[in-house]
Amino acid sequence: MKFVCLNCETYMNFEKVEKPGENTLGVFFGCPSCNAKFSMVTNPGETQMVSSLGVKLGGRTVEAEPFEMTRGTLKAEATAGPSQMAAYLNEKIQGGQPAAAVTAATSGTPGEKSSSGCPFSAMVAEMGLTSSGKPGNAGAATSEFAWSPDAKEKLDRLPSFVKPMVQSSVEAYARKQGYKTITLQVMDDSKNDSSNGTTWTPEAEKRLENIPDFIRPMARKEVERVAKERGMATITAQVMDDVKEKFLKFM
């Protein structure tokens, strides 16, 4: 924001900001040439946006204090809290009749309706459970494979949004292997089947077991990535050494 002295055809200088009242600012400018002074007074809210950004009007002249904005904008106490506002409205609009009673009388019927039924039904619905307590059967797609009862049970125990993902990956594996029935064994095997087609020598696989189990999948991916970079389809002890070498540099 700038002002131009039209008489002298020059920018006026920003001089100071004052607070003539709550929610309003007075910004003072002076012409360096004819010495004319004036103050611009903002309407409530007009400068609030800028100060909400923690930005100083007219530019920052002194260093910001710690928590300047937080401390500056926190209300010291509730001056006009909702209860006072309600009292005021009650006085002006309802003519002394308690506002709360009016609200209750008008909203009584619909409120009653919405609160009917089991109090936990909303929670149950939110959790994606049916009233029988089992996960909703959202992902029960028809399958070209026969699932053994135990495998089916394991699949059904999965969260509904995970189920389709797992089902399709297990079935893709089964298709690749030429299986018709999916058993627990097939499910487990499909987990260890690397999607990118890399194979691990027993020696390399054994060395991976030195890694704590919860970061092992991460390590596996990292090793496979390095192998892919070097165009190797089999993870050998050599690849493992290369990865080790790579990470030694970070120590």
Helix (H, G, I), strand (E, B), or coil: what is residue 99? helix
* Integer Cα distance of 221 and 241 in angstroms: 15
Nearest distance in Å: CB 58, other proteins: 6
Number of alpha carbons in the 13 Å side-chain half-sphere of residue 172: 10
Per-residue exposure over 107-141, b if at least 16 CB sit within 10 Å of its own CB, e if not: eeeeeeeeeeeeeeeeeeeeeeeeeeeebeeebee
Residue with Cβ nearer other proteins (17 or 99): 17
H or E element that contains 123: helix 121-126
Which residues would be at the binding site for other proteins (CB under 8 A)? 1-2, 4, 6, 9-11, 14, 23, 44-45, 48-50, 52-60, 65-71, 73-75, 77-78, 126-129, 133, 135, 157-162, 165-166, 191, 207-208, 210-212, 214-215, 217-219, 222-223, 240, 243-244, 246-248, 250-251
Nearest distance in Å: CB 137, other proteins: 13
Nearest distance in Å: CB 112, other proteins: 27
Residue with Cβ nearer other proteins (112 or 126): 126
Q: Which residue has the tokens 């012409």?
A: 31
Nearest distance in Å: CB 69, other proteins: 6
* Integer Cα distance of 19 and 39 in angstroms: 11
Nearest distance in Å: CB 171, other proteins: 15
Residue with Cβ nearer other proteins (4 or 101): 4
Helix (H, G, I), strand (E, B), or coil: what is residue 216? helix
Residue with Cβ nearer other proteins (178 or 251): 251
